[in-house]
Amino acid sequence: MHQLFRLVLGQKDLSRAGDLFSLDDSEIEDSLTEALEQIKIISSSSDYQTNNNDQAVVEICITRITTAIRETESIEKHAKALVGLWDSCLEHNLRPSGKDEDTPHAKIASDIMSCILQNYNRPPVMALAIPIAVKFLHRGNKELCRNMSNYLSLAAITKADLLADHTEVIVKSILQGNAMLLRVLPAVYDKQPQPINRHLTELLALMSQLEQPEQYHLLRLLHVAAKRKQPEVVQKCIPFLIGHLKDSTHNDVILSILIEIASYEPVALNSFLPMLKEIAERFPYLIGQMARIYGAVGHVDEERARSCLPFLVSQLASMEHSFHHILLLEIKSITDTFSSILGPQSRDIFRMSNSFTAIAKLLTRQLETTKARSDRSKSLALHTALTNDLSSEDGEVVESGDTPASISLSEIDPLGQGHDRSPFKGDTDGSQLVNSSVSHPSIIHIESENLPETVKENYQEETPDTTSRPVEYHDKLYLHLKENLSKVKAYAVEMGKKIPVPDQCTIEDSVRSCVAKLFFTCSLKGHYCLYSKSSFILISQEPQPWIQIMFLFQQSLFPEPLSIQSRSVQFLRALWEKTQTEGAHSFETAMMESTFPQQKDLDQVQLHLEEVRFFDVFGFSEAAGAWQCFMCNNPEKATVVNQDGQPLIEGKLKEKQVRWKFIKRWKTRYFTLAGNQLLFQKGKSKDDPDDSPIELSKVQSVKVVAKKRRDRSLPRAFEIFTDNKSYVFKAKDEKNAEEWLQCINVAVAQAKERESREVTTYL
């Protein structure tokens, strides 16, 4: 042991204790374990609690030791001695006195706790510390318990298995009022579900007493528990979850749990459908999730299918267009499973109108009629009556002979948002083709007067009668797809997990050639959705791979091969022809000769998505089987981040002070990304510029500033562009830069989505 440590601790010399701070950390590092053992002897003496001199010496020495351990990063070397001293504190009184002052041993425990548990990402240290740490939860010191809970929550992130053995102790601490530990339970549930299940009813009873973040962690626990498909847990969960659906703070998270349960135990939700309907009417933005629950229950048997369909159909008539594709998918899935519900007239119903309101009206009548449909003459009479009195979107009566053609429900198109206007629009000089209603999957309606001539010729030959006939077998595209249908479907499913399909696609002329303007929105559109009203826009210099991707995805939705006469194929062919160079393959030839895109094209598409940071704000959800925005995929972050003042990320960044690239002047600042702003902590220096915070709604783009490496761009610096200024920042390393980039892009999308919603509300 260092001579000064020997003097101070051996003689308990308070006058020399301060001199320990004059020594270099490396000079005393080898002495730290021996010094900790000597402190343990002193603090265990019978008179320590009343000896102020000894207490002062110990406090100063512990502060010097923990500082040296942190600076030399030698925690693993001295962990055993540090934990040993910590453990010895449990043998003494830790309860604060009447003046709320910590006891001498509580002070030691608190100082050592921060030194040890700040290293929650070091498994060897945590293996020694956690068995001791949980013992402090029941020693009557609330402040010590609260701080311990914070550190244990961090430890659960990296080493949940170490905490799992102490689940029973943790649950009991929560039930005694230490709600902060709720955030630990989701991490340990998979390892030790039984102690939690035994006390689940008691834990749920705490909900009304909890703060909002703690309520979220309790719900997250239920989500983890629901995934294990345990009947006893489901029985306890459902009434609780339904009871809290009226709370707008958590209802989208609760519905995610109910959707999970509905996927394997739909009957358990059947009796709660009236309450869910009431919630849907109160919170219309939840209709997408409600539809999935109704769809799951509707698949149980025909009786439940008939009880669920009226709700789905009624929402089809009243909801905004963004929810139509979800509703139609659920309706189609149920009616495909129980084909007798709509009978043979189902295809005709969806051909007779270009209005979702009218489709819903027809479906409602059809559902009512099928309760009584066996006489064929009644069926024909109904068909005639429905056709004659069907009203179009503008209220005009459409006679059966003039019924506009549209795709049937069995041909739900991923390229239609369900708008009641033509998806094809030509500008005056023919420079672009626009699909104004591209959204998968929904219905496309085509008005022939707006089509290019190449499309119009084939389109005008079709009548409502011929659309229901089998495809002619001289259609080469149809025959090709028929031979390769299973391969196409399998390929499209796997491709769809890596590359998203756009909701809208337009072809525009540029200086050199045509470009594709692609629009992406979130399929779930939850409460905190980033892209329910706004869109992520991507400009691609290579339109044809995207057209082929849309074509393959389109085919994957249908049980039968597409033909060249299909409305969606006509649209895609029109897009292709706009991009087609002289002498290049036609759309049909290209799709047949190279059914699947070349790998280099797919790699380029994916690289482009990475470069524009698409994957920062979108991800493929295996559970939903669709691409969803960051907030809908991570509702736990959405709930926390949308609380007032809660930062999405914070930390130090270097900001470039001079715009010229050849001058390298950087200033380190502490930045916080919260709400609609990127804020920085102003320094004390007079030279520190008094810049305003960056308003995220004004950010136009975020660009990586990085050197290219072999396989990808690994950024450390990035640049934020607003409408009138740009900022260059540098993170401490590439991983930290990636975290900042994702969080900034998420926050920018969130700010712009909020603006879009405000504009929509105003209008």
* DSSP letters spanning 250-285: THHHHHHHHHHHHTT-GGGGGGGHHHHHHHHHH-GG
| 304, 298 contact by CB (below 8 A) | yes
Q: What is the 3-state secondary structure (H, E, C) of 663-684?
A: CCCEEEEEEEEECCEEEECCCC
pTM of the model: 0.54
Does pLDDT of 390 surpass 50? Answer: no
pLDDT, residue 53, reads 94
Does pLDDT of 737 surpass 50? Answer: yes
pLDDT, residue 172, reads 93
Beta-carbon contacts of 468 under 8 Å, excluding residues fewer than 6 positions away, are 347, 348, 351
pLDDT digits (tens, 9 = 90+) for 142-159: 888 888 888 888 777 777
pLDDT, residue 424, reads 30
Cα–Cα distance for residue pair 171/361, rounded to 1 Å? 53
Cα–Cα distance for residue pair 539/612, rounded to 1 Å? 10
DSSP 320: -
Q: How far apart are the first and last CA of the chain?
A: 76
Cα–Cα distance for residue pair 733/716, rounded to 1 Å? 6
Tell me which amino acid residue 460 is.
Answer: Q
| 257, 222 contact by CB (below 8 A) | yes
- How does residue 753 score in pLDDT terms, banded at 50, 70 and 90? confident
| 535, 503 contact by CB (below 8 A) | yes
Pairing of strands 424-426, 536-540: unpaired
How many angstroms from the chain centroid is the CA of residue 725?
30
DSSP-derived 3-state class of residue 249: coil
pLDDT digits (tens, 9 = 90+) for 392-451: 333 433 333 333 323 333 333 333 333 332 233 233 232 233 333 333 333 333 233 333
How many angstroms from the chain centroid is the CA of residue 667?
34
Residue of 626, 672, 684, 668 lying closest to 647 (CA atoms): 672
Choose the most confident range, by mean pLDDT, from 10-19, 147-156, 310-319, 379-388.
10-19
Query: Which residue's structure tokens are 């969080």?
Result: 743
| 548, 590 contact by CB (below 8 A) | yes
Higher pLDDT, 604 or 150: 604
Choose the most confident range, by mean pLDDT, from 471-475, 490-494, 759-763.
490-494
Does pLDDT of 526 surpass 60? Answer: yes
pLDDT, residue 35, reads 95
Tell me which amino acid residue 278 is.
Answer: E
Query: Which residue's structure tokens are 């399998």?
Result: 490
pLDDT, residue 318, reads 73
Does pLDDT of 43 surpass 50? Answer: yes
pLDDT digits (tens, 9 = 90+) for 186-223: 989 999 999 999 999 999 999 999 988 889 889 999 99
pLDDT, residue 346, reads 59
Cα–Cα distance for residue pair 324/444, rounded to 1 Å? 12
Cα–Cα distance for residue pair 26/8, rounded to 1 Å? 19
Higher pLDDT, 156 or 34: 34
CA-based torsion, 83, 84, 90, 93: positive or negative: negative
Pairing of strands 504-509, 514-520: antiparallel
- How does residue 466 score in pLDDT terms, banded at 50, 70 and 90? very low
Beta bridge partners of 514: 509
pLDDT digits (tens, 9 = 90+) for 174-189: 998 888 899 899 989 9
The widest CA-to-CA distance across the chain, in whole angstroms, is: 110
Beta bridge partners of 397: 391
Residue of 238, 190, 193, 247 lying closest to 215 (CA atoms): 247
DSSP 520-551: E--SS--TT-SSSSS-EEEEES-HHHHHHHHH
pLDDT digits (tens, 9 = 90+) for 648-686: 788 888 888 765 555 567 788 888 887 778 887 655 444
Pairing of strands 726-730, 717-722: antiparallel
pLDDT, residue 760, reads 53
